[in-house]
Amino acid sequence: MAFLLVATCVLLNALVTIGLLRRMSAILETVEDRLRRAPQPLGGLTAGSKVPWFELTGADGRIIDSSHLLVEPTVLLLLSSTCSPCKVLALEIAEAPKPLAEVPVIPVVQPTGPPEAAFDDLGLPVFQDLSAFAAFRNDTTPFAYAVDDRGIVIASGVASSVEHLRELARTLEEVRPSRTSTLA
């Protein structure tokens, strides 16, 4: 009789647990579905956003902050040493004639370990720091931002090639004359 009572309690406990798991499963599936359908912005800061203050450490150990870095229209290129497309882009940049564009292109490598040799031969000053990624609220690489001399993001996008970096630079060149003409 005691065995039958214990078996019944175990069976009821199992049924209640299964019922709770099924209810939780439905709730989790609904949440997952909503997250999947939510827009996933690439790159954080959007056009028109002011770039927050940040500082970078150069390969030579020199620290420079955004107020000195963004004094002229600039393309800021965010890379990661664990990103295969970043390494392909780095090879393309290394082989491209310099200057890459009419405005400075500044690569910033996300430090995920020891300095990566793939970024040594870019022919550009390379910074390795996380603060730019935090300032731009970015976790996508390779990603580039066209920033004007006031620290405003003009355009941004996934940097798939040197030509894309040049397009971003041209965007900055197109904005520069219109700003000066409206001031006159």
pLDDT one digit per residue (tens) for the chain, 184 residues: 888 888 898 988 988 888 888 887 777 777 666 655 555 456 688 889 999 998 888 777 888 888 888 889 999 999 888 888 988 898 888 888 877 778 888 888 887 666 555 576 676 777 877 788 888 888 788 999 999 999 999 999 899 899 999 999 999 888 765 443 333 3
Alpha helices in 38-112 (DSSP H): 66-69, 84-95
The model carries a pTM of 0.69
CA atoms within 13 Å, Cβ hemisphere of 17: 6
Closest CA to 117 of 87, 159, 156: 87
* Pairing outcome for strands 63-65 and 127-128: unpaired
Alpha helices in the chain (DSSP H): 2-37, 66-69, 84-95, 131-135, 162-183
Tokens of 87: 């390494």
